[in-house]
Structure 1
């Protein structure tokens, strides 16, 4: 019954299992003794939007002797920052913020003589 309610809650919230590599039982009791118990208690749940944002993400379990739970490790290749750098767009509204305005003016003045696109790139990095 509890499993059914958990699955219903997952479905309603749009969460799905994110599979991980390595040992699949994430909890154990009495290792090396008669009656040793292993269970998959821990999971990684994500939204489709998260999967789209971190398409290169990988996950794995980590074997440890310090706990009866096995940690799950998520490695992401952050595409958010690389996309932002390529798609930088300056907003005139930013100039109304004093500190931002100062960064833009300083960057623009310090890049005189460079090609326009180079100036924009440097200014964008400065603002970022």
Structure 2
């Protein structure tokens, strides 16, 4: 989309190599372009440069595989996500297992965690040790849910915004918003890393 006319001999050479190696391009879902010069308006050029090529034998084993072009970040190229599947998942009847209690290392940084443990373990004689531990686990889980910040939800929300903007016209405003969102994702990833350290 836009830019100089590509030399046809280069395109033909690539296609010949793909044919000689008996490769096929996997089905792409989502935005079709994988590269952009990140310029505004009429100067914006987008191309489908990056491909996921497979042999026929591989495709026969995994016929429902697909490719998704993810949102570009800090690069002119969009990352490619390949989902490898033998068959379509029509009915997922697996019941979701209830997750057992898991003590999180990050809780040790908060004094409130120690208070919850102390209060739970100091319950009266009516509570045996197992009941105190179960009460402590429930109290810690409730406390954690009220205190934790869901970085992945925020990052996913911003990536979705980025996907919408990639599909939009490359105006100065849209590119400016994309750079702002890119910066926000960097900040969230840094905060998440510090949170789990």
Q: Normalized against structure 2, the TM-score is what?
A: 0.37
Structure 2 residue 69 is the aligned partner of structure 1 residue 56: no
Number of equivalent positions: 79
Return closer, same or farther for 1:78/1:16 CA change in 2, 3 Å cut-off.
closer
Structure 2 residue 81 is the aligned partner of structure 1 residue 70: no
2:32 to 21, 24, 33: 24
- 1:42-66 per-residue CA deviation (whole Å, 9 max, x = no partner) reads 1111111111111221221101322
2:20 is matched with 12
CA displacement at 1:32 relative to structure 2:
3.1
Which ranges of structure 1 fall in alignment gaps of 5 or more residues? 80-128
Tell me the SS of whatever aligns to 1:64.
Answer: coil
Q: Normalized against structure 1, the TM-score is what?
A: 0.56
Give the whole-Å Cα distance in 1 for the aligned partners of 2:40 and 2:69.
Answer: 20
**Ranges of 4+ aligned residues in structure 1 off by more than 2 Å:** 30-34
Q: Is the 8 A contact 2:26 2:66 kept in 1?
A: no
- 1:4-50 per-residue CA deviation (whole Å, 9 max, x = no partner) reads 11111111110111121111110001333550111111111111111
Structure 2 residue 32 is the aligned partner of structure 1 residue 41: no
Which ranges of structure 2 fall in alignment gaps of 5 or more residues? 1-8, 88-197
Give the whole-Å Cα distance in 2 for the aligned partners of 1:11 and 1:61.
Answer: 24
Return closer, same or farther for 1:41/1:74 CA change in 2, 3 Å cut-off.
same
Root-mean-square deviation (Å): 1.8
Tell me the SS of whatever aligns to 2:28.
Answer: coil
Give the whole-Å Cα distance in 2 for the aligned partners of 1:4 and 1:34.
Answer: 28
